[in-house]
Structure 1
Amino acid sequence: MTQHPTQSPQFFLTAPSPCPYVEGQFERKVFTHLVGDKAPELNDLLTQGGFRRSQNIAYRPACENCRACISVRILTSEFEPTKNMKRILRRNTDLIGAMHDAEPSTEQYSLFRQYLDARHRRGGMSDMTVLDYAMMVEDTHVETKVIEYRRRGPDSFITGRGEGELLAVALTDRMADGLSMVYSFYDPEMEDRSLGTFMILDHISRARAAGLPHVYLGYWVNGSRKMGYKVRFLPQEHLGARGWERYAEPETDAG
């Protein structure tokens, strides 16, 4: 097994590769390993500094000519759902999310493949095997949970678990100041449920109940249709040159 130092993390820089979000740009990332007893503490510090976790790696963009990727976190104590979000919550009152340890299952992978094939067929994760998926879930040295969403059953109020088919999954890190949504996916045939939005709303509720001030959503890229949903959850903060600052929503025409 490869050994990595746990006291002073070493940082590395990737080679340039085509950016998946900004056409004509090339991305580079700075990264370090999250291993050992200090991994949770280091993950907290790095996430607060704009890093994201993927397995036992923490990374952030380090592009030479672009600063389009902006870290986003929701302020849970002040959050108020919009009318549309309230409709989404009502639409999914029959669902319940059960939190488990970070353990993969064939049922999760089957849903993961359906999601990728429908939504991200040409993405960087499109060729992930069941072993790759297992590593994505299990290879963590921080407090990571899997939340499985299913329909409520008659005993759900006792067990805290749903019944029937798996409809959505969130891979989530619990940190000292919030929840970080590492990756989520859902049944692509249930578009009317807006399950992606529902899972974020559920995480806001979970964080608020736990007294955690933030839900970290990763990176937002202004102008990217894939990322546009992230700025709908207000109020929120964006990480810039002067640290975390409250995001001012652009004014729109009433008509």
Structure 2
Amino acid sequence: MAIHADNRDDLRLFQTGQHACGYWPDRLARDLVLDPHDPRLGSIYPQALAWGFRRSGDLVYRPHCEQCQACVPVRIPVQQFRPDRSQRRCLARNAGLNSRIVAAQRTDEQLALYTEYLRHRHPGGGMDDHGPREFDQFLIGAWSHGRFLEIREPSAPGHRGRLLAVAVTDVTERALSAVYTFYAPDAAARGLGTLAILLQIEWARRDGLEHVYLGYWIRGHGKMDYKRRFHGLEAYDGRQWRDFASTWGAVDIGA
């Protein structure tokens, strides 16, 4: 079904049919998707983020389920953010690692880490057989303005340390969007997912950007609950961005 979200711009939205929910196996989901053939999609994307949408490959979507509103778009205002005690420990634990921002172009090393991550983290989740083509389609896409944030072990001069994590990040004029992070399963105790977000916040602050978008916090889902630990978090209620704590309840941040 096509919907005209803004008659001035003739922006078309499509509602998908029901499909299996990627987070709750006993639920069905629907999405709103911006017209994937719209040639303006790259320029529309920053505003779409502000409307609570997210990118997966070339698709820009937002959950639109009939009987479930568990997925809440969230973002971090980088100037207001202060790490809590657990996040400070994460930074200290990983202080010796190296990070750098590189072009969003697949390497054999990144692909090997990605496939290893999927095998260990999401076995049987439908992504086990992802190869180079799926990597490019899912993480890079045709029109996005992305970068890869690589996190590596320290190494001797002239050598690159072992690649531990890659944070796929979209860059817009006023914000970063954390698209996907994959990391070495045997280094999970380092808290590399949290570290990647902390480094993205530093990146955004350094470049004078306003927000880091984190996709969706999912009420009641243990794997997504970590997002609400980021101080100053904002949530989109379908009309405006509001302080997360006042809308969904405060969390003990152990400052």
TM-score normalised by L of structure 1 = 0.87
Aligned to 1:102: 104
Aligned to 1:229: 226
1:78 deviates by 1.1
- Of the three residues 127, 130, 136, the one matched with 1:128 is 130
Q: Aligned to 1:45, what secondary structure does the other structure show?
A: helix
Task: Write the letter of the residue equivalent to 2:168.
Answer: L
Aligned to 1:54: 56
Aligned to 2:181: 184
Distance 1:134 1:61 in 2: 23
Aligned to 1:119: 121
Task: Report the number of matched residues.
Answer: 242
Distance 2:25 2:106 in 1: 34
Aligned to 1:77: 79
Listed as ranges, the gaps of 5+ residues in structure 2 are 1-8
Alignment of 1:210 with 2:207, yes or no, is: yes
- The percentage of counterpart residues that share the same residue type is 36
The structure-2 alpha-carbon separation of the partners of 1:24 and 1:170, relative to structure 1 and needing over 3 Å to count, comes to: same
Tell whether the 8 Å contact from 2:201 to 2:212 is kept in structure 1 after alignment. Answer: yes
Distance 1:230 1:91 in 2: 20
Listed as ranges, the gaps of 5+ residues in structure 1 are 1-6, 157-161
1:132 deviates by 0.7
1:8 deviates by 4.1
Give the alignment of 1:143-162 within 5 angstroms.
Answer: 143-153=145-155
Aligned to 2:67: 65
- Of the three residues 33, 38, 43, the one matched with 1:41 is 43
Give the alignment of 1:167-178 within 5 angstroms.
Answer: 167-178=164-175
Task: Write the letter of the residue equivalent to 1:110.
Answer: A
* Greater CA drift, 94-103 or 124-133: 124-133
The structure-2 alpha-carbon separation of the partners of 1:128 and 1:33, relative to structure 1 and needing over 3 Å to count, comes to: farther
Tell whether the 8 Å contact from 2:139 to 2:180 is kept in structure 1 after alignment. Answer: no
Q: Aligned to 1:208, what secondary structure does the other structure show?
A: helix
Q: Aligned to 1:212, what secondary structure does the other structure show?
A: coil
The structure-2 alpha-carbon separation of the partners of 1:8 and 1:124, relative to structure 1 and needing over 3 Å to count, comes to: farther
Distance 2:45 2:187 in 1: 34
Task: Write the letter of the residue equivalent to 2:29.
Answer: E
* Greater CA drift, 118-127 or 75-84: 118-127
Tell whether the 8 Å contact from 1:104 to 1:137 is kept in structure 2 after alignment. Answer: no
1:175 deviates by 1.3
Aligned to 2:250: 250
Q: Aligned to 1:189, what secondary structure does the other structure show?
A: helix
- Of the three residues 195, 201, 210, the one matched with 1:198 is 195
Aligned to 1:4: none
Tell whether the 8 Å contact from 2:168 to 2:179 is kept in structure 1 after alignment. Answer: yes
Q: Aligned to 1:206, what secondary structure does the other structure show?
A: helix
Distance 2:57 2:21 in 1: 21
Distance 1:197 1:27 in 2: 27
Distance 1:49 1:170 in 2: 23
Task: Write the letter of the residue equivalent to 1:27.
Answer: A
Distance 1:140 1:93 in 2: 35
Tell whether the 8 Å contact from 1:103 to 1:137 is kept in structure 2 after alignment. Answer: no
1:195 deviates by 0.5
Q: Aligned to 1:73, what secondary structure does the other structure show?
A: strand
Distance 1:141 1:43 in 2: 10
Cα shift readout 1:191-239 (whole Å, capped 9, x = no counterpart): 2211111000000111111111111000111110111111111111000
